[in-house]
A and B are shown apart, each in its own frame.
Chain A
Amino acid sequence: MNNYEKAATGAVALMLVAAGAIFLYAPTDALQGPVQRIFYLHVSSAIAAFASFAVVLVGGIVYLWRESAAADRLARAGALVGVVFTTVTLVMGMLWAKPVWGVFWTWDARLTSTLVLWIIYAGYLLVRRLAEPGRQAARFAAVVGIFGFIDVPIVYFSVTWWRTFHPGPVIVTDALPAAMLGTFLLTMACTLVLGATMIAVRYRIEALLDARERVSEPGVVVKARGAEMGTEPVP
């Protein structure tokens, strides 16, 4: 088993520990019933998603500043992992919402911002895929990632502000009793470890893909290949 496989196994094991805590240790919520247990993973996923997109932000800024291919790779890895976590967050949120509120969706600030987040980074991935590989894709994606990260809190704020004129359903989160809080913190920690592992693995994959594609790295001198190829000299 190489290091990546070991790390992945460790991360999955931690998630199983968290699952154990969620189902066996945490008490059942009095109001919402067993459905409430989704909350631990749902919120942890959301936090992992934001952390991943923060990685994209930093990677993008460093790339624009220094044209570091490593920073760009990190951003790419972060974006993919972040979109996965955001999808998980949205799906879990909907699974939770139906039994608890009776609807799958509501346009409150949090859901709206999470959806916008998903759309922005799906756009990021598309731009990466469709632009010219190398410098152009890296630069454009960095700009999208930076604008996207700044946009989400602004969307959250504007929807919250808008809701003061158009009130809608409110998510009530009371203070958590100690056992629930403990479970939540454990789950969050395990999820973050999982996220970091996923980013590390993806980074490695991107590095291998780059090497195969000979992506633009400015300033690197490549020797003329004539001698090794053994072609006859031009008369």
Chain B
Amino acid sequence: MNPVRVALAVARKDLRSEWRTRELVPALAQFIVLALVIANFGFQIDPHNAPSIAPGILWLALVFAGLVAFGRAFAAEREQATLEAMLMTPASPVALFAGKALASAALLVLCEAVMLPALALFFGTQVSGEVVAAVLLATIGMAALGCLFAAMVARIRARELLLPLLTLPLWIPFIVAGGQAVQSAMGLGGGYDEAIGLLIDLDILFVVLTSLAARFVLDE
């Protein structure tokens, strides 16, 4: 069982479970739409200020949705005692971790597929391929980090408090770069290429680091 097959098996299992129960994605999609509605009232958005506020709302909604998605990736395993069953097999913890990160990233991307059109619809901002690229790139790094700390937090008490506390400081560079990229793609300000370059660098760095750290967090 080579690690890639293991990772894909884990991802497939997670996605299949989600498909059968349909718990996470509808709840997250609803949450995101609601967040957009509330933002409209909170920020008094009109066609003039929409392009400057929309990127902020996008990332805010994404961060909260991400925390829920990644938190659940490991919380459910913990409750079902399945995490230990997986760890009792010879499968490498890094492969298990990669599979979970893949699956929760995929679920978050599904939510993004709801959010971006909703953003365009409600706020009249352009959602171009450039915006999508920035969001997808940021999702990769955020998934790696979110899942690592979710795995850690699943074994500790007070996980709803701890997960944001540990994860958000590490997500800040992604939000800064991603926010600038989206803002630039929506026509305000520049630096798109640099922002994308920064996102790619961050992705590479943190995917490598989290892979190295996975065995310390997952294994007993």
Give the B-binding residues of A (Cβ under 8 A).
64, 116, 119-120, 122-123, 126-127, 130-132, 136, 139-140, 142-144, 146-148, 150-151, 154-155, 157-159, 161-162, 164-165
Contacts and interface: CB of A to CB of B under 8 A. Distances in A.
Contacts of B117: none
Interface stretch (B37-45, B61-69, B78-86, B172-180): B172-180
A116 B156 contact: no
B29 interface: no
A132 B157 CA distance: 9
A126 B162 CA distance: 8
B16 interface: no
B191 interface: yes
B213 A143 contact: yes
A165 B166 CA distance: 28
Given A143-B213, A158-B198, A127 B155 contact: no
A165 B169 contact: no
B173 A139 contact: no
B152 A143 contact: yes
A119 B217 contact: no
Given A130-B158, A143-B217, A154-B202, A122 B165 contact: yes
B78 to A, nearest CB: 14
Contact of B169 (A140, A146, A155): A155
B19 interface: no
B190 A147 contact: no
26 contacts: A116-B169, A116-B172, A123-B169, A126-B158, A127-B162, A127-B166, A132-B155, A139-B216, A140-B152, A140-B156, A142-B216, A143-B148, A143-B152, A147-B209, A151-B170, A151-B173, A154-B202, A155-B172, A158-B198, A159-B176, A162-B176, A162-B180, A164-B191, A165-B180, A165-B189, A165-B191
Contacts of B173: 151, 154-155, 157-158
Contacts of B166: 120, 123, 127, 144
B216 A161 contact: no
B152 A127 contact: yes
Contacts of A150: 209
Interface string B190-209: 11001000100010000001
A161 B152 contact: no
Nearest to B164: A123
B116 to A, nearest CB: 22
Contacts of B176: 158-159, 161-162
A143 B14 CA distance: 26
Nearest to A122: B165
Contacts of A132: 155-156
A120 B169 CA distance: 7
A58 B162 CA distance: 24
Contacts of B209: 147, 150
A98 B163 CA distance: 33
A84 to B, nearest CB: 19
B172 A140 contact: no
A64 B191 CA distance: 39
A161 B191 CA distance: 10
A158 B191 CA distance: 13
A130 B202 contact: no
Contacts of A154: 173, 202
Contacts of A131: 155-156
A151 B189 contact: no
A126 to B, nearest CB: 6
Contact of A126 (B165, B180, B202): B165
